[in-house]
Amino acid sequence: MKLYFTIITLFFLVLTSCQNENSNLQLTYLGTAGWVIKDENSKVLIDPYLSRIKLVGMSTSSKISKSAQSRDWGSDNRKKYYRDDRFEPDTTVINWMINNNVIDSSNYIFVHHTHFDHAADVPYIAKKTGARVIGTESLSNLLRAHGIPDKQIVTVRGGEDYDFEDFSVKVLPSLHSALRDKQYYSSENIPSDIKVPLQIKEYVEGGSLMFFFRFKNHKVLTMGSMNFIESEIDKLKPDILLAGSANSRKEIYRYTERLLKSTGFPEIVIPTHWDDFRVTYDAPQEKALEAKVMPFVKDVNRVSPKTKVLIPQHLVPIIIN
């Protein structure tokens, strides 16, 4: 792990020396649905889940399949976690991200929903950076339980359209992915009297959102899952779409076609929430790319041949000029 971060550090130094200082937008994939988005005026975090704990089984189901129980974790000798275990952030990884300028200067954190792979690292990051955090009431309850002051918390439900001086964001009500052959459903919130640290199973959805960012030169629509409410995104016309591309999208009727048509066939589509987030950043992702990303890319190419699809790599900035 230490060697990996050394390599990434060198990459950042090379990239910083080569990139155009007047680049319009920079997007860095943190894994799962996590992103850093920055331009010359602003830097925001979206769903910054960096710990990537070694979770056995699905976070949204109490059942553990035989394949999950017998999974070969290779050289990953970290502690195994189960749904009943209490979440512990990997502060080594998070502190590295902060100390190496990946997430340190972000003034805002936006969270799509409160499952652990979206929200569990947010309280620690908010404490370390002092960033304001925007999300549902479920997220606000989680933050307060961790001692985050109210001045850092902005609670939304969807429908808000806020100006943050250097950028603006329209908050959109959304839907979570249709998991487990459409049997997933959750109306729970993280309650205000929750005791931390939470068990992993206590990170319930708490409602789902999408975010439509208007930066100086670009409009970016972000997704936290493989589902959406068509009427909420209709006619937004982002030029960059961070599109959920895991296999649960196949449960949704004409997912790619409806998504692209509703958003005006964006110039750029970047797949998100496709990686195996139970392994460390240096673990290979070829299986996830082959099984999830490439079929989605083919769908996009079929539906919108003029749209450019950019496949992100962990922690490698994408520069949009």
Per-residue pLDDT, 22? 54
Per-residue pLDDT, 31? 98
Dihedral over alpha carbons 274, 248, 64, 80 (to 10 degrees): 10
Separation in Å, CA 208 to CA 1, 135, 173: 33, 9, 6
Per-residue pLDDT, 62? 83
Per-residue pLDDT band at 8 (split at 50, 70, 90): very low
Per-residue pLDDT, 23? 53
CA distance 57 to 226: 19
- pLDDT tens string 186-204: 999 999 999 999 999 999 9
Task: Take residue 267 and report the two structure tokens written for it.
Answer: 């110039």
Mean pLDDT of 59-84: 91
Going from N- to C-terminal start, the domains of the chain cover: 24-57+77-313
Per-residue pLDDT, 67? 86
Q: Render 255-281 in DSSP notation, one character per residue.
A: HHHHHHHHTT--SEEEEES-S-TTS-T
Instruction: Please tell me the total number of residues recorded for the chain in this structure.
Output: 321
- pLDDT tens string 221-280: 999 999 999 999 999 999 999 999 999 999 999 999 999 999 999 999 999 999 999 999
Helix, strand, coil shares of the chain as percentages rounded to 5? Answer: 30, 20, 50
Cβ neighbours of 18 (radius 10 Å): 8
Q: Which CATH class is domain 24-57+77-313?
A: alpha beta
Per-residue pLDDT, 294? 98
